[in-house]
Amino acid sequence: MLALGMSAGTVIKPPPPFEAPPAAWLTWANELHNFVETGLRCLTIERGSCEVVLEESPWSLNPNGAVNGGLCVAAADQVAGLVALTAMPTGSLPATATLHAEYLRPAFAPLTLRGSVAQRGRRLVFVAVDVFDSSGRLCVRCTGTMAEQRDG
């Protein structure tokens, strides 16, 4: 199945090796189709953590001016996959197995999403993603499990 905006000829570039400089990881993350289409921009990424911003919502805002909760969780899911990847062996890709969201308050853009790896098992990576609003207040807290998918 193809993602929105992708064609059958679209090639998804594999992530750089862990030894690659942080700039290579930032470039790779910021070129991901879902990041581009959603308006996400990765600011920092290292083993076990990352920080991503969503300057403005590509969707219509809620009547109160907040970013739609579904978009907040979709963005958090992208960040969860990105941070999980930093804890997986080369050649693996994350697939969302579970994702739980707690909506604490309306999220007014720009949003900052901070992802972290809580624990890694043999094939599962447990992650947390916190979504902060323009005032630095925690708006959405997501926790999830990413399952390792290996090539071949």
Please report the pLDDT score of residue 6 as a whole number. 47
Q: Which of 140, 115, 119, 137 is nearest to 128 (CA)?
A: 115
pTM assigned to the model: 0.91
Mean pLDDT by 10 residues, the chain (152 residues): 47 82 93 95 96 97 97 98 94 95 98 98 97 98 96 62
Please report the pLDDT score of residue 9 as a whole number. 55
Question: By residue range, what is the domain housing residue 71?
Answer: 22-150
Q: Kindly state whether residue 115 falls inside one of the protein's structural domains.
A: yes
CATH number at residue 130: 3.10.129.10
Q: 98-112: buried (b, 16+ CB within 10 Å) or exposed (e) per residue?
A: ebebeeeebbbbbbb
d(CA 61, CA 57): 7
User: Is the separation of the CB atoms in 38 and 54 below 8 Å?
Assistant: yes
Q: State the distance between the two ends of the chain, measured CA to CA, in whole angstroms.
A: 18
Q: Kindly state whether residue 79 falls inside one of the protein's structural domains.
A: yes
Pairing verdict, β 40-46 and 92-103: unpaired
Domain count, the chain: 1
Q: Which residues contact 61 (CB under 8 A, 6 or more apart)?
A: 67, 68
